[in-house]
Structure 1
Amino acid sequence: MIFAQRYMMPNLGELLLSRENYKPYPTIAERRLWDDLPQNLRAYWINKGAGKLGHEWNTLTATAYMDYSRTGNRERYDTVSWERRAALASLVIAECIENQGRFLDDIVNGIWCICEETFWGIPGHGYMMKRKDPLPDVSEPIIELFASETASLLAWTHFLLQSELDGISGLVCERIRLEVRKRILDPYLIRDDFWWMGFNQERMVNNWNPWCNANCLSAFLLLEDDRERREEAVIKAMRSLDQYMGRLHSDGGCEEGPKYWIYAGGMLFDGLEQLYGISAGQINVYEEPLIKQIGRYLYKAFIDGSFYVNFADSAPAVEIPAELVYRYGRRIGDERLSELGARVLKKKQEEATDIEFSSMSRLLPALFHYAEVEQYTGEAPYLRDAWLDGIQMMAARERQGSSKGLYLAAKGGHNDESHNHNDIGQFIVYCNGSPMIVDPGVLTYTSKSFFSERYTLWAMQSGFHNVPVVNGIQQMHGRQYQANDVDYRLDDQAASLSMNIAGAYPDFVGIKSWKRTISFNRGSDPSIEIKDEFLLQQRTVDVMLILMTTSLPQAEEIGSYILQDENRNRVSIRYNGEQYAGSVETIPLEDDMMRKGWGNQLYRIKLKLKSPMDQGECVVRINRIR
């Protein structure tokens, strides 16, 4: 309990700045820093705002909200909701930079439309309301991810533009204060039963905890005048964040995957920065080993370019918040982490990539640290080896400091992780930074993505991961389905992860033992080896090993496949062709998110036993073809 041990004290209120003295960033009236922004950045945001002049604030209809309960689709409502908020943020930043008043009427329209919404959250989170109805209950304000984020956006808008908005009508900022207090500030202080707070131990907390807490903190620190209420909110946020950090492993690993690190570890950093700022640096936990490890996870999962180890609900390519990652690295004194952020920013500049909307708590520091990040050079973020013993994930590459050659990542763990896929023993292989043997990742979220129907979706099932299927049965979900006897070893010649994955399957499958050893062997011809040694209760021919690939596997000879991508990166896959028969299945990708990651299809190599066995082994070797 990091905060409880260090900052829960009677005089905590003396550390906190008043609302009048809390000036995290300049308002529109404080011109020097706004006027000193790089010209290209100024032009970008002014043009972005100009594109929203006369913006049509599309209607959020009741029937669009009910799509979720009727069809399971959440896109029609969610998209309009998020577009409204992105438009408002663009207009606010454009006005702060240009300072000529031409964006103000559209900003007022955006504020008014959002304040008129019945519910600031999304249909998929309506389950938190006591009344289980297809429509949201206006009488029960609940705090979920996007309600809290909306409050933060409005609070920052109020902070930056209050003088200008009051010049139009005093009711605009008064409306912001009224709605944020009613929907967020009061419920945050009154209720302890929101599951994400972590005070009810019946459900584990995840990224929701720092995500909601960081955004609620923004609203309190920027809008709340009452010192006692502000202090109460800070205390509650620290207590709740302690609950989140208390369930993390000391390795700082994010079992939800790199995409969710943005909203887990990244949102934790947002909250820590606000606590640091409101106390003028006196609430400072950046020397805590866990806080450092949470940041370092990101480059331990980094492959190359935009690719990260995409276990759990993570897409293979992740656009990390460059400036946040840079600042996190600077806070904890880690050059690799700061360099990772700086490289992402430079890549965006080179490719002229559009800057996606993010929360104001990230947009503002991204603006005012832009030139600093642009000029930074640190240590290359390519670790040769990484092992996270808590989430049981290993990564290895041919050499430190370079993405050239083979790359391996593998995991153990259990099948009740946050955003879990049934994937005990999963591994992925890249070559020169390009995907070869992969984890499919996540489908577009629908009503089936969570709760009871989650594992009816193919992308969550072990049969579409690089693990065995035995007697036609896949791995099961639940905390009891886990890897046992997990052993990671590292020396100058090799890195390996071994485990017994029999416990990931139900007892009736008849697996006595299934030892999987995943090794990265270094030397003059580096290779990756997957060795499966199994012992079954009875003889069967129904044993199948899966390999998911991005490129169409070409059968070279019996017991061998070749993978080659569009950049002519090539690997060979060899196995015992006398005992196992190989075949290739095309998996058409119809989901937009999956197609964005992989294209129109993936391929599934199936290695099947040719004759019945009750014990045996299969060795798959992967080499780079130079």
Structure 2
Amino acid sequence: MLSDRYDAEIVKEVLLSRENYKPFPTSEDRSEWCELPQNLKCFWINKGESRLNYSWPTITATQYMDFSRTGNRVRYDTVLLDRRQDLASLVIAECIENHGRFMDDIVNGIWCICEETFWGIPGHGYMMRRQDPLPDVSDRIIELFAAETAALLAWTCYLLKNKLDTMSRMICERIHFEVKTRILDPYLQRTDFWWMGFNQENMLNNWNPWCNSNCLMAFLLLEDDQQRREAAVVKAMHSLDKYIQRLDPDGGCEEGPKYWIYAGGMLFDSLELLYGATNGKLDVFQEPLIQNVGRYIYKAYIDGSFYANFADCSPKVNVPADLMYRYGLRIEDARLSGLGAIELKKKREKSTFVQFSIMYRQLSAIFHYSEMEQYIGESPYLRDTWFAEMQVMAAREQEGSSDGLYLAAKGGHNDESHNHNDIGHFIVYCDGSPMIIDPGVGTYTSKTFFSERYSLWTMQSAYHNLPLVNEAQQLAGRPYEADRVHYHQEATMASITMNIAKAYPEAAGITSWKRAFKLIRDSNPYIEIHDQFQLTHTSDDITLVFMTPHSPQIEGIGSIALQDVNNHGLTIRYNEELFAVSVDTIILDDEVMREAWGSQLYRIMLSAKTAVNHGDSIIKISK
């Protein structure tokens, strides 16, 4: 899409020089900074003031080694990422106020970061050729946060260069040296980083656009040699093409809405950088695939901060308002821009504060703030959504509103990026409130991405809304998949059917398990889950699982009520002749899980009363 259309000769003709590349006003270009709304100025100056006379936290060797010793990814990562976010806040505060009072703290922050042995996190040290509890300073790998750090320092130099040079010319020279040594040179010289896609295309995920976009920023802002700038742009386009080629035509993000921020969202950042650095000459925003990638995020939207959260995704996702707004404008989609405007109006000034240290997004959010405040757009509440490649459907009672029932269900396979073993899984919301849920994912540790991943309960099919048969759960891997998947929708109904038998091991003894989901839109709307199964031998070890954040109330024979604190609720009806009901309480001790759901979740289990070798059951869910 990129490299075939825009070859090296075209790049040479259209790429702006560093001197002519002016994506945002520097601290000396005062008019746009001075015109920012007063409330926004106060928000960022207050953030800067909270770090005046700041004692930058130390990062020690043993802190880094904590990951290899305990598997903990939080203690070291938090200090490293806070350093970057604090520097970004100080830089923006200085650009807004322009009195120089934040400069000493900015210089200290720059110096601290430049002194770090490795700009990445310990969990990504596996990329180094020599494995050790400490990073190898001679092996300059580029991973997510090393690339992000380079971009942050590049933006700092771009915005404040004259002020920094007045204090000492060594500051920006140090930034140039460190970024060149750690990022720019390795980016041009090496092709073996897996995320580039030149050697391992099948592994590509959000790392590709995430790393490429930040490396591009560093080149565009810091590199003086125009030939090296051109070479970086050409290489980035080739690498991004590897990622784009494996995207689903309908734009589905198998990593879920949270990772769309760093997958489809970072792809947009990369394309926007190429667009801006060439005065719009490199432009693929009218391509249907690129437009569909953007539209994914509102197709996965439920209500408030809730999104359909399959894979490693929490139910509540803070999608950057400005990212959705700008993406929507670029592809002329008023729903996408409208969702961005909704997000801004919910969070006001806080919407310009972007997770990690993505200065590009923070600057863009700041300078689009007033524009977004006035934007209306179109409703993001789609009635029906279908992603054919991922085999994910979503349906709600009515277009344009979160009132009523919402159903999302999935087929797919168990080798997706950030996979959970969840073929045939579903979620149900009522009036925008979660009722039957996907628990999401806990705090990342060393187990999350390596051989022990499926020892974590959040990844297991037993804690998704799925059958358990003969104590056997679904297994991970590409062969474990849904079969004969069919989707259908019309005005009065949306449905998906599939056979999920292949998702289970032979020990489960499942010959066939046809699972069908329907949302019926009539005068009394309801959701139906229809299971028809055939086993290799008779068994009474058959259980249907339903996960919920609300204490289930057994109302009577064959009826379970769920209700939230705002009195939104629904009733689950089942055949009491077939199933006995029980409830497990799952105490949540993980901070990420508690933030999403509170102190506990509940696992409703409908267990077979008698031994059978086949069965046919219907669960009905209604308000």
Same fold (TM over 0.5): yes
- Give the CA deviation at 1:55: 1.1
> Which residue type is aligned with residue 217 of structure 2?
S
In 2: Cα distance, 1:4 partner to 1:392 partner: 30
**2:149 corresponding residue in structure 1:** 150
Which runs of structure 2 are paired with 1:209-608 in the superposition (5 Å)? Answer: 209-349=208-348, 356=355, 358-608=357-607
CA distance in 1, matches of 2:314, 2:511: 34
> How many Å apart are 1:280 and its aligned residue?
0.4
What one-letter code is carried by the residue in structure 1 that aligns with 2:517? I
**Number of the residue aligned with 2:65:** 66
Q: Name the count of aligned residue pairs.
A: 623
Residue 195 of structure 1 contacts residue 203 of structure 1 at CA under 8 Å; is this kept in 2?
no
More moved, 196-205 vs 415-424: 196-205
Q: Distance in 2 between matches of 1:264 and 1:422?
A: 21
| Aligned-partner Cα distance in 2 for 1:59–1:308 | 37
Which of 6-15 and 61-70 deviates more?
Answer: 6-15
Tell me if the contact between 2:501 and 2:510 (Cα under 8 Å) persists in the aligned partners.
Answer: yes
Letter in 2 for 1:454: R
- 2:353/2:362 contact within 8 Å kept: no
Correspondence list, 1:44-193, <5 A = 44-193=43-192
Q: CA-to-partner distance for each residue in 1:386-434, whole Å, 9 max, x for gaps? A: 0010111101001000000010111111001000000001100000000
1:197-208 matches, within 5 Å, as 197-201=196-200, 203-208=202-207
Question: For residues 188-218 of structure 1, what are the alpha-carbon distances to aligned partners after superposition, in whole Å with 9 as ceiling and x for unaligned?
Answer: 0111110111111364100000000000000
Deviates more, 1:504-513 or 1:379-388: 504-513
Partner of 1:26: 25
State the SS of the aligned residue for 1:10.
Answer: helix
- Cα gap change, 1:89 to 1:350, in 2 (>3 Å): closer
Counterpart of 1:476 in 2: which secondary structure? coil
CA separation in 1, counterparts of 2:169 and 2:348?
A: 40
Aligned residue identity for 1:555: I
**Is the 2:550–2:601 contact (alpha carbons within 8 Å) kept by the matching residues of 1?**
yes
The one-letter amino acid of 2:478's match is: R
The 1:283/1:354 distance shift into structure 2, 3 A limit, reads closer
Alignment TM-score, normalising by the size of structure 1: 0.98
Separation (CA, whole Å) in 2 of partners of 1:372 and 1:495: 37
Task: Using the TM superposition, give the Cα deviation of residue 259 of structure 1 relative to its aligned residue in structure 2, in angstroms.
Answer: 0.5
Structure 2: how far apart are the matches of 1:208 and 1:527? 40
Distance 1:224 1:401 in 2: 48
Unaligned 5+ residue runs, structure 1? none
Contact 2:470 2:507 in 1 (8 A): no
Query: What do the CA deviations read for 1:91-145 (whole angstroms, capped 9, x no partner)?
Result: 0000101111111111000000000000000000000001110000001010000
C-alpha displacement of 1:357: 5.2
SS at match of 2:546: strand
1:511 partner letter = I
Cα distance in 2 between the residues matched to 1:62 and 1:426: 43
Long gaps (5+) in structure 2: none
For the structure 1 residues 150 and 355, does the alpha-carbon distance in structure 2 shift closer, same or farther, using more than 3 Å as the test?
A: closer
Please tell me whether the aligned partners of residues 257 and 313 of structure 2 are also in contact (alpha carbons under 8 angstroms): yes
Distance 1:567 1:23 in 2: 50
Offset at residue 272 of structure 1 (A): 0.7
1:374 match: secondary structure:
helix
TM-superposed CA distance for 1:148, in Å, is: 0.3
Q: Which residue identity lines up with residue 111 of structure 2 in the other structure?
A: W
Cα pair 1:533 1:616 within 8 Å, conserved: yes
Distance (whole Å) between structure 2 residues aligned to residue 123 and residue 409 of structure 1: 36
Cα gap change, 1:353 to 1:267, in 2 (>3 Å) = closer
Is this contact kept in 1: 2:352–2:366, CA < 8 A? no
Which segment drifts farther, 342-351 or 210-219? 342-351
SS state at 2:522 partner: coil
Aligned-residue offset at 1:62: 0.7
Using the size of structure 2 for normalisation, the TM-score is 0.99
Contact 2:457 2:463 in 1 (8 A): yes
Q: Deviations over 1:269-324 (max 9, x none)?
A: 11111000011001011100010000100000000000000100111001110011
Give, in whole Å, the separation in 2 of the partners of 1:501 and 1:313: 21
CA distance in 1, matches of 2:382, 2:133: 49
Q: In structure 2, how many angstroms separate the alpha carbons of the residues matched to 1:540 and 1:350? A: 58
RMSD between superposed Cα atoms in Å: 1.2
